[in-house]
Amino acid sequence: MTFRLGVLGMVPATLLYLFLAMRDGPLLDPFVHLGFESGRLWLLHLAALGFPLALLETLFKSESFAAAWIFFTAPVARDRLVVNSGICVTAFFIVPYTLLLAAIFAWSFGNLWHAAAHALVLALLAHISIQVLLLVAPRLPFSQPAKKGGRMGYLMGMITVGLVIAALLPLMLWVGYSSTGFTLGLLALLALAAVVMPRMVARGIRSRVERLEFTG
């Protein structure tokens, strides 16, 4: 339920960011206005990258964390359980969220292909960022107690990380969107990283997750 409420909380936040980004006019096409010229688009970049990271944190916290004993006793591959937690966020949140952003971009840019490509870049970056977070701090789903005030702290922390990424993103897009060849190369590179990262993370955390202890 906490996870579902976390998803619902992202909807009004996205609408607020969209309102702030478009209060002075439509969003600028990053393929036309390269780099930092795209201006207020960074607010939706923050939403696209920060919200999935914040949502991932809610997947590890639960008031019923004592029920997570099953993950520590059942003969399961814990590394895959951790990695697939991130993939679930990608499949059930990032994918539909990307479709929403693509529709917003298409309406604002007036170019369907630019909108789809930009939304796909953001989705791949969000997926990769989630896997990096799991590599740094692997945890089992719903296995940690929800501390009072802790959720807000994690939320702000992950949004801060997303803010840093969103602030640096125009530098990468400046090069990646400068030509069709560079754009295809950027998409191919991100797609390859998105496929390879879960396997790398699973190998990298295997020994660490086996040492995790039940906190219930």
Residue 214 has pLDDT above 60, yes or no: yes
Which residues touch 128 (CB under 8 Å, ≥6 apart)? 190, 193, 194, 197
- What pLDDT does 49 receive? 85
pLDDT in tens, 104-114: 899 888 899 99
- What pLDDT does 65 receive? 79
Residue 94 has pLDDT above 70, yes or no: yes
pLDDT in tens, 153-166: 556 666 676 667 76
Supply the Cα-derived Rg of the chain in whole angstroms.
Answer: 18
pTM of the model: 0.85
Burial grade of 172 (CB within 10 A; 0-12, 13-18, 19 or more): middle
- What pLDDT does 158 receive? 62
Distance CA 90, CA 153 (A): 22
Q: Which of 53-57, 78-82, 127-131, 197-201 has the lowest mean pLDDT?
A: 53-57
In this prediction, residues 61-72 reach a mean pLDDT of 80
pLDDT band at residue 91, thresholds of 50, 70 and 90?
very high
Closest CA to 57 of 10, 97, 101: 10
Which residues touch 205 (CB under 8 Å, ≥6 apart)? 79, 82, 83, 134, 135, 138
Residue 102 has pLDDT above 90, yes or no: yes
User: Cβ distance 54 to 155 under 8 Å?
Assistant: yes
Tokens 């939403």 belong to residue: 47
Residue type, 183: T
- What pLDDT does 23 receive? 76
- What pLDDT does 39 receive? 67
Distance CA 134, CA 199 (A): 12
pLDDT band at residue 99, thresholds of 50, 70 and 90?
very high
Distance CA 18, CA 12 (A): 10
Task: Tell me how crowded residue 202 is: count the other CB atoms within 10 A of its CB.
Answer: 22
pLDDT in tens, 17-51: 777 777 777 788 888 888 776 767 878 888 888 88
Residue 116 has pLDDT above 80, yes or no: yes
What is the residue extent of each domain of the chain? 2-210
Residue type, 190: L
Q: Which two tokens stand for residue 129?
A: 């960022």
Distance CA 43, CA 159 (A): 11
In this prediction, residues 170-183 reach a mean pLDDT of 88
Q: What is the length of the chain? A: 216
Closest CA to 53 of 119, 152, 146, 126: 126
Q: Which of 40-49, 83-92, 155-164, 169-178 has the lowest mean pLDDT?
A: 155-164
Distance from chain centroid for Cα 100: 14
In this prediction, residues 44-72 reach a mean pLDDT of 82
Which residues touch 92 (CB under 8 Å, ≥6 apart)? none
